[in-house]
Amino acid sequence: MKLVQIAGYLGSGKTTLILALSKSLSEEGQKVAILVNDVGEVPVDGKVMQEYGLEVKDIGGGCICCQVAGNMRKTLGLLAKNYEPDITIIEPTGIAVPNAIKEALKPEAAKFQITFGPIIVLFDTTRADKFLTYDTLIRLVSTQLKDADIIALNKVDAAPEDKIEYSKESVEGINPDAKIMKLSSRTGQGFEVIVKAVRDFTA
């Protein structure tokens, strides 16, 4: 089972991308499961994904990068044992730290023959100014970006070109090792690159 994380700050487009990605991978014949975590509240994303016919495990009660990391390990183990997916996509909360999730799952890797796919972090280019200037917000967003294998500059259809360039230069400075790409879930721009990365990338 390959584990893929689609991470990124609140409202960056994770759920929309995962819905499209799951559909595309399923059409290729891959058995896909989704592990979704809403930020300590009454879950919404998992309910929506289930309505679209996807195999979803919802984790509530806190953030899987810290508070409920143990619950995530347990849920993933059950998923691996009972459903045996080829690919499991993790949608963490918008405030989660991706590497903390990966570290928390490493003990399960050998037990359930898990390989780690890419950590894809979405960055909402329409809100770049806030993310890169607001005191504690920049700390969170930078931490997420630093953990990325791939940074998808999302919503490029809705952001002016200068803001996209500003976003690109800024995230390159934060994580020079990540592959940086442009994405629009609305128009489909960049979607095939994401599908290929999920299919082919192994950490």
Partner 1 sequence: MKPKDVNDLLAPISPVHEGINSYGLSCSVSRQKAIDAEELRKFATELMTAVSSACIKAGAKDIGHIKAYIDHDSGFLHADTVGDAGEVTVAGRDAEPINHFKLVVNSVIYGMTKTAVTNATEASLKTVCLKFGLEKKSKNRRPHES
Which residues of the shown chain bind partner 1 in the complex (CB under 8 A)? 9-11, 38-45, 47-48, 51, 60-63, 65-71, 73-74, 94-95, 97, 100, 124, 126-127, 130, 134-137, 139-140, 143
CA nearest 13: which of 114, 154, 169, 120?
A: 154
CB 116, CB 85: distance < 8 Å: no
Q: Which is nearer to partner 1, 123 or 198 (CB)?
A: 123
CB atoms within 10 A of CB 181: 18
Q: Which residues contact 148 (CB under 8 A, 6 or more apart)?
A: 7, 98, 119, 120, 121, 175, 178
Smallest separation (angstroms) from partner 1 to the CB of 43:
8
Cα angle 190, 29, 122 (rounded to 5 degrees) comes to: 30
Q: Which is nearer to partner 1, 106 or 130 (CB)?
A: 130
Smallest separation (angstroms) from partner 1 to the CB of 166:
16
**Strand-pair partners of 119:** 5
Long-range contacts of 129-132 (CB under 8 A, 24+ apart): 129/163, 131/9, 132/170
Smallest separation (angstroms) from partner 1 to the CB of 67:
5
Smallest separation (angstroms) from partner 1 to the CB of 9:
7
Q: Which is nearer to partner 1, 26 or 71 (CB)?
A: 71
Q: Which is nearer to partner 1, 69 or 89 (CB)?
A: 69
Element (H, E) at 140: helix 135-146
Q: Which is nearer to partner 1, 163 or 198 (CB)?
A: 163
| Phi, psi angles (nearest 5°) of residue 77 | -60, -45
Smallest separation (angstroms) from partner 1 to the CB of 119:
16
